[in-house]
Amino acid sequence: MGTKEVMASVFSGVARVYDRFVSLITFGGIHRWQRRLIELMGERENWLDVGTGTGEVLKKLKSSHLKVGIDIAPEMLRVAKEKCGECHFLVADGENMPFKDKSFDRISLSLVFRHLENQERFLKEAKRVLRKGGRVGLIDIRKFAGNKVLLLLMKTILLPIGLLIFGRDKWEFFIHSVENSFSLEEVEEIFRREGFRRVASETTFFGLVFIFVAELD
């Protein structure tokens, strides 16, 4: 299987336990971070959540008229549809979006950016489907010295929980994804090369997590 097929299989396989696990491992922080991301991005009419998973970001939106979530894991979207009846979900790839040009005002990715197969290709698609003044916002694991601590925890203290909930193959996938995370400087440079300027960036959770928002120049 290719990388995307593997990811679709991994995340479909953990769909029913994913929310509980992320809340547990972040001590509930994921909900604060998602609300903060929305605040920094500013709600606008049409909102797209890429790699929406169980739809938590869309569920937290208050004023957006159109709430759309895409994901490559069908089982994640089944859970999302149960939680957000006014949202629209479809199986789709953030690097090949099935939308017309200038369809959205905001695009969010919560714990997704590092999983993309090609970040530059995603940003080219984001530029295409965003309207003037459109923004992209990320929450993700940050690459810095503290990653070693997180990886150590995942391989030791958190290992029994991870194996119990996800199984060895899926847990090793998540460990590998942390090893492939980006620094804030790397993220800003990737966005700059694709025609975006940084609007906001913050770190939280002892520096392990970043929130980053960029706007089309």
Q: Residue 202: CB partners within 8 Å, gap ≥ 6? A: 36, 40, 210, 211
Has residue 47 got a pLDDT over 70? yes
Condensed to tens digits (0 to 9), the pLDDT of residues 17-28 reads 899 989 988 999
Has residue 92 got a pLDDT over 90? yes
Provide DSSP, the chain. Answer: --HHHHHHHHHHHTHHHHHHHHHHHTTTHHHHHHHHHHHHH---SEEEEET-TTTHHHHH-SS-SEEEEEES-HHHHHHHHHH-TTSEEEE-BTTB--S-TT-EEEEEEES-GGG-S-HHHHHHHHHHHEEEEEEEEEEEEBPSTTHHHHHHHHHTTTHHHHHHHH-HHHHHHHHHHHHT-B-HHHHHHHHHHTTEEEEEEEEETTTTEEEEEEEE-
Q: Average of pLDDT values for 93-120?
A: 96
Has residue 187 got a pLDDT over 60? yes
Q: Average of pLDDT values for 170-199?
A: 89
pLDDT > 90 in the chain, percent: 68
CATH code of the domain made up of 3-216: 3.40.50.150
Q: What is the domain partition of the chain in residue ranges?
A: 3-216
Reported as a pLDDT band with limits 50, 70 and 90, residue 185 is very high
Matching residue, tokens 């909930």: 165
Please state, in angstroms and rounded to a whole number, the distance separating the CA atoms of residues 204 and 81.
29
Instruction: Name the CA dihedral angle for 120, 124, 126, 130, rounded to a multiple of 10 degrees.
Output: 150
pTM of the model: 0.89
Condensed to tens digits (0 to 9), the pLDDT of residues 64-79 reads 889 999 999 999 999 9
Reported as a pLDDT band with limits 50, 70 and 90, residue 145 is low
Q: Average of pLDDT values for 47-70?
A: 95
Evaluated on CA atoms 180, 183, 189, 195, the torsion sign reads positive
pLDDT of residue 171: 81
Minimum mean pLDDT range among 9-18, 124-133, 165-174: 165-174
pLDDT of residue 44: 85
pLDDT of residue 186: 96
